[in-house]
Amino acid sequence: MLTLARAELIQLFRNRLVLVTSVLLPAAFSAFFVAKHELFAKIGSLGYLAALTLFFITAIGLYTTTVTTLAARRQNLFLKRLRSTAAGDRGILAGLLLPVTAIAAAQVAIILIVLGAVTGPPKNPVLLVVAVVATVVMMLALGLATAGLTNSPEHAQVTTLPITVAVLAVASWVGITGTDQLPVLKRLLPGGASTELVMNAWNGRGSLTDSLVLFGPIAAWLVLSIAMAARLFRWEPRR
């Protein structure tokens, strides 16, 4: 798995388009958000800014790169060749996705640390870490599910658009308006519960019970995505 991950990391940095999508673009947006933290704090809160940053990195970077990578490796029959080796299916997927996941996790950690240094630390850092991990896993699962519907890297530009736009829109909606109104709808939409969880962790609002309840929708999206991936994912191009 580690050998495959190392090779995939080399390929990632050789592909300029993927490098810009997975590394430079999310980092640039996140840096802009931190620089304008006072504006975002007035619009919503610092917790909203932390959640928006998290989803820019995991949606534009992790999610889209996951789909593009798997579609490209399927199209050039690399996935098919890997299955003829001793590596199992889980090991293959883990090796291919470990580099982009590690990059996204490092970006989130660095940006949130910088945000905390500039504006003050989060009120509940442990809950924040758990929320970030849960969100990263959820976006990875959504990427696997979407890869099952994606025929090529070019097609990924279309298939990833709905989820990317949805999670960013929901994060802004929840971050700006809160969940006092339409709480069930906002929490059930993709990214809604994660946004509220990050906001609670950063701003120090909400009880422990409220926070635990928010893991339910995240787990539901995770289970649904894994079920879709198991049913739809293909190891070689469709004919």
> Average pLDDT in the 47-55 region?
91
Model pTM?
0.90
What are the residue ranges spanned by the domains of the chain?
Answer: 2-232
What pLDDT score does 90 carry? 86
What distance separates the 2 farthest-apart alpha carbons in the chain?
Answer: 55
Instruction: Give yes or no for residue 13 having a pLDDT over 90.
Output: no
Q: In angstroms, rounded to a whole number, what is the distance separating the alpha carbons of residues 107 and 85? A: 33
Instruction: Specify the higher pLDDT residue, 194 or 25.
Output: 194
Residue 62, C-beta contacts closer than 8 angstroms, at least 6 positions apart: 22, 100, 101, 104, 136, 139, 140, 143
Mean pLDDT of the chain: 86
pLDDT digits 0-9 by tens, 185-221: 999 999 999 999 999 999 987 777 778 899 999 999 9
Structure confidence at residue 86 (pLDDT) = 72
Q: How far apart are CA 239 and CA 137, in angstroms?
A: 31
Could you give the CA distance from residue 36 to residue 199 in angstroms, rounded to a whole number?
Answer: 18
pLDDT, average across residues 34-40: 72
Q: Cα(first)–Cα(last) distance of the chain, in Å?
A: 29
Both tokens of residue 144?
A: 């696997």
Q: In this structure, what are the phi and psi dihedrals at residue 86, rounded to the nearest 5 degrees?
A: -75, -10
Task: Return the pLDDT at 147.
Answer: 93
pLDDT at 3: 73
With cut-offs at 50, 70 and 90, classify the pLDDT of residue 18. low
- Structure confidence at residue 137 as a pLDDT band (50, 70, 90): very high
The burial of 120, by beta-carbon neighbours within 10 Å (0-12 exposed, 13-18 middle, 19 or more buried), is given as exposed
Q: What percent of the chain has pLDDT over 70?
A: 92
On the question of pLDDT at 7 being above 80, the answer is: no
Which residues 6+ apart lie within 8 Å of 193 measured at CB? 187, 214, 215, 216, 217, 218
Gyration radius of the chain's alpha carbons: 18
